């Protein structure tokens, strides 16, 4: 009887908490605000040719500006996402493989001049010039405030 009662209480709690009209959904919606309070969207779209708008917005929200190691003061509005592992090398279009850089650092330094980028799991990164010069970031990207 006790096990059956526990089962019924658990079922009632799950019904209140889960689903689109549940408490968890309501709290999530209020925490995330208007811009992110919508349908679920994939954080990894595989080897897509285009970076979807929601992944661009999430990368900008997470990175808060150009992530070039050593400092760059371009705000998120002046940045675009770069595939850390290039698509040609099997890199995925996913939040984990995107990082925001300003136009100069993205197109000129990383793509044209060939500086090699490495990102660590803690969010810090380093770049290495073709001549071997290394620049490291010293802290993870800032948290959205
Ligand atoms: Zn930059």
pLDDT tens digits for 63-72? 999 999 988 9
135 contacts 124 by C-beta, under 8 angstroms: no
Distance CA 94, CA 48 (A): 9
**Could you tell me the distance, in angstroms and rounded to a whole number, from the CA of residue 101 to the centre of ligand 1?**
5
**Could you tell me the distance, in angstroms and rounded to a whole number, from the CA of residue 69 to the centre of ligand 1?**
9
Which residues place a Cβ less than 5 A from the ion ligand 1? Answer: 66, 68, 72, 74, 102, 105
**Could you tell me the distance, in angstroms and rounded to a whole number, from the CA of residue 36 to the centre of ligand 1?**
26
Q: What is the pTM of this model?
A: 0.69
pLDDT in tens, 5-42: 999 999 998 888 887 777 777 776 666 566 556 678 89
């Amino acid at each position: 009887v006790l096990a059956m009662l526990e089962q019924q209480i658990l079922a009632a709690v799950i019904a209140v908490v889960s689903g689109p009209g549940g408490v968890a959904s309501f709290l999530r919606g209020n925490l995330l605000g208007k811009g992110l309070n919508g349908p679920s969207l994939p954080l990894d779209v595989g080897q897509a040719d285009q970076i979807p708008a929601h992944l661009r917005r999430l990368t900008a929200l997470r990175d808060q500006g150009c992530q070039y190691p050593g400092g760059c003061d371009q705000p998120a509005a002046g940045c675009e996402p770069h595939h850390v592992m290039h698509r040609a090398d099997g890199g995925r279009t996913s939040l984990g493989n995107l990082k925001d850089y300003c136009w100069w650092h993205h197109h000129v330094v990383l793509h044209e001049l060939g500086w090699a980028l490495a990102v660590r799991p803690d969010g810090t990164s380093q770049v290495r010039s073709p001549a071997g010069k290394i620049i490291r970031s010293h802290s993870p990207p800032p948290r959205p405030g």
